[in-house]
Amino acid sequence: MRGGSLIKEARRRAGLTQEELGERLHTTQSALARLERGRTEPSFARVAAAIRACGLELVPTLTAVDESDWSVASVNLRVGPDERVRRHQAALRFAAAGREAMRRGGR
Amino acid sequence: MVVDDFRPEAVLGVLANHGVRCILIGGFAAVIHGSPYLTTDVDVVPARDEENLERLSAALTEMHARAWTPSEPEGLPFDHSPRSLADVKVWNLVTDHGRLDITFTPSGTDGFEDLSRDARHLTILGVPVLVASLPDLIRSKEAAGREKDRLVLPVLRRIVDETGT
């Protein structure tokens, strides 16, 4: 995730306009817009300060890389919405059959 | 090549037809136990003995399994000899029938032998499937500690409470 996106998310969550947050950060609305759009990449300290100015705290967490969800999403992105729905229908069909088998007991 | 099919029962059917000893875990196993979080990939834990790995390799050949990478979402051909299969902790694969993840020792478990103790033998859409028990799925998700696992754990625990699983 880009720093600018985080700032935008925090600003919107705080209900602030770019002008209002710009004032709090002693910068201009246009400079903030460039940050949020990713035209300029802010430092970590800058992102943390902007989020704090929105009344929120940036709490970093370190976690192991996990590609499992993205590996599914990236395959889904290769097909259109109709096919994505069809795949979920296939998943549902299998899941329903699995639950029915579980209900019957198995061993 | 775009994967144009998704049939979890076909993935598991090929594994079963080749006599691969493996246990269904992950999202599909949880859904079969009642989880509301649907997934579109199949996760299995195979036994690690060489004979089973040979059968697994043959099944992967039949499914035209390819290794998923961030830069090649349609997958790349890869060497899946028994030894090379066992050398990797997690395989994210793209097959003719959909996404397949292979893990030998899921977090918080000792792998196939450990999970097979409480697994359930089911027949799903005509395919024999060994499904990990819900307490084992919870144990593994708890140990993995990923955000997405933490989200699903409350409802899985409640299913255990409600069903006495």
Which residue of B3, B34, B123 is in closest CB contact with A75?
Answer: B3
Mean pLDDT, chain A, whole residue set: 88
Q: CA torsion, points A106, B24, B105, B58, in degrees to nearest 10?
A: 110
Chosen for mutation from A82, A93, A94, A99 (greatest number of chain B CBs closer than 10 Å) is A94
For residue B165, tell me if it sits in a domain: no
pLDDT at A73: 80
A78: nearest CA partner in chain B: B2
The better pLDDT of the pair A80, A21 is held by A21
Task: Give A23: exposed, middle or buried? Use CB within 10 Å, 0-12, 13-18, 19+.
Answer: middle
CB contact under 8 A, A75 and B74: yes
pLDDT at A87: 84
Separation CA A98–CA B20 (nearest Å): 19
Each residue's pLDDT tens digit, B14-64: 999 999 999 999 999 999 998 989 888 999 999 999 999 999 999 999 999
pLDDT over 60 at B101, yes or no:
yes
Separation CA B95–CA B5 (nearest Å): 9
pLDDT at A86: 81
Confidence tier at B3 by pLDDT (50, 70, 90): low
Q: Domain total for chain B? A: 1
pLDDT over 60 at B159, yes or no:
yes
Query: What CATH number has the domain bearing residue B39?
Result: 3.30.460
Separation CA B165–CA B162 (nearest Å): 8
CB contact under 8 A, B99 and A72: yes
Judge contact between B17 and B24, C-beta under 8 A. no
What's chain B's Rg over C-alpha atoms?
15
- pTM, to two decimals: 0.78
- Show residues of chain B in contact with A62, CB under 8 Å: none
B25 bridge partner residues: B43
Separation CA A59–CA B1 (nearest Å): 41
For residue B164, tell me if it sits in a domain: no
B102: nearest CA partner in chain A: A68
Each residue's pLDDT tens digit, B108-120: 999 999 999 999 9
Per the rule left: phi > 0, alpha: psi between -120 and 50, beta: everything else, B97 is: alpha
A3-53 is classed CATH 1.10.3720.10: no
Q: Flag whether residue B67 sits within 8 Å of chain A, measured between CB atoms.
A: no
For residue B113, tell me if it sits in a domain: yes
Residue whose C-alpha is closest to residue A46's, from A31, A62, A29, A25 = A25
- The structure tokens 């970093």 sit at A60
Mean pLDDT, chain B, whole residue set: 91
CB contact under 8 A, A97 and B124: yes
Chosen for mutation from B88, B124, B152, B159 (greatest number of chain A CBs closer than 10 Å) is B124
Q: Which domain holds residue B55?
A: 8-158
Residue whose C-alpha is closest to residue B101's, from A75, A90, A107 = A75
Confidence tier at B95 by pLDDT (50, 70, 90): very high
For residue B56, tell me if it sits in a domain: yes
Percent of chain B with pLDDT over 70: 97
pLDDT at B4: 54
> Is residue B121 helix, strand or coil?
strand
Rounded to 5°, angle at Cα A49 from A47 and A52: 110
Each residue's pLDDT tens digit, A45-88: 999 999 999 999 998 878 777 787 788 888 877 887 778 778 88
- Show residues of chain A in contact with B4, CB under 8 Å: 79, 83
